[in-house]
Structures are given as structure tokens and as C-alpha cells.
Amino acid sequence: MAKITSYKHAKKLYFIYAAIGILLMLIAQSPFSTTVKWVLMVLGGLLIIGAFVWVIAFYKCPICQSHLPVSQGLPDYCPTCGKKLE
């Protein structure tokens, strides 16, 4: 089975999705109609939730498939198996 994405791309997309979601939620605080505010809030919330699901699903060690720590930068070595990540 082909890989959908590498762990490096997964973390970048996580931050992009989360940032867009937060931006939509901030824009929703502007003086729009109630319907537009709700739509922006829901879309922003879905993007943030989607970002978390994305990072859980794809931000893994390519060797042992264990989850990598999101709160740190891109690791050089897997904290679980100790192998060098490329």
C-alpha cells in the first residue's frame, strides 16, 4: 500500500489546517449576520478537529508506526525505536 504522506508533510498540514480553522473562528467574531457567524464557526471547528485527526492518523514513525510527539520540532530519531528518521 502506498504511503499517503510522510510524517514531515503530516505535521505541516496539521499546522496549516489548525491555523485556517483558528483564522475562520476569529473572522466569525466580526460584525456579520448570525448565519455567517455560525457557518464560519462550524467550518473553523471542523478544520481544527480535522487537523487533530490528521496528525493522529499520519504523524507517525515510518519505521515502527509509533506516534511522534507533536509538541516538539521534527525529530531526528524516533523516540520509540531509536532509528534515524529521514
Is the pLDDT confidence value at 1 over 80? no
- Are 8 and 55 contacting, i.e. CB atoms less than 8 angstroms apart? no
Confidence of residue 4 (pLDDT cuts 50, 70, 90): low
* CA 26/CA 14 separation, integer angstroms: 18
Q: Which of 47-72 are b and which e, b meaning 16 or more Cβ less than 10 Å from the residue's Cβ?
A: bbebbeebbeebbbbeeeeeebeeee
Dump pLDDT digits (tens) for 30-64.
888 899 999 999 999 999 999 999 888 888 888 88
| Cell 490528521 -> residue | 54
Predicted pLDDT at 46: 96
pLDDT of the residue at 56: 87
Question: What is the predicted pLDDT for the residue at 42?
Answer: 95
Q: What are phi and psi of 63, to 5 degrees?
A: -95, -55
